[in-house]
Amino acid sequence: QVQLVESGGGLVQAGGSLRLSCAASGFALSRYVVAWFRQAPVKEREGISCDSSGDTFYPDSVKGRFTISRDNAKNTVYLQMNSLKPEDTAVYYCAAAFSGYACNRGRIGRDEYDFWGQGTQVTVSS
């Protein structure tokens, strides 16, 4: 069974940090592009990080604050979030894609991603 399961979400004060985990089963993350997305109320799903064979990209909204990483031995991808702001409040999703175009030339795709987690809530209080 191919599956991605997020964990680590919760409530944190502004300026604090949180680390999200995404455990994969049924396939090897090391062979895929991985990414994190988030979706706030009334907004579309936004790509906030991606990693393609060590090449990473972050949009301006999170650049310098968020870091994506992998542990291939654990088949897990992480998102370290620092200096959190209330506007970071959203449901966070991990995703994996076979196509390198999912994370290419400064663009985080969305339709290219093959597998998605169910999401974990992150709430940042002021």
For the chain, the farthest-separated pair of C-alpha atoms sits apart, in whole angstroms, at 40
Burial class (CB in 10 A: 0-12, 13-18, 19+), 119: middle
CB 67 within 8 A of CB 80: yes
- Which of the 8 DSSP states describes residue 89? -
Name 41's Cβ contacts closer than 8 Å, sequence gap at least 6.
none
Write out pLDDT tens, residues 68-87. Answer: 999 999 999 999 999 999 99
Write out pLDDT tens, residues 2-50. Answer: 999 999 999 999 999 999 999 999 999 999 999 999 999 999 999 999 9
- The reported pLDDT for the residue numbered 47 is 97
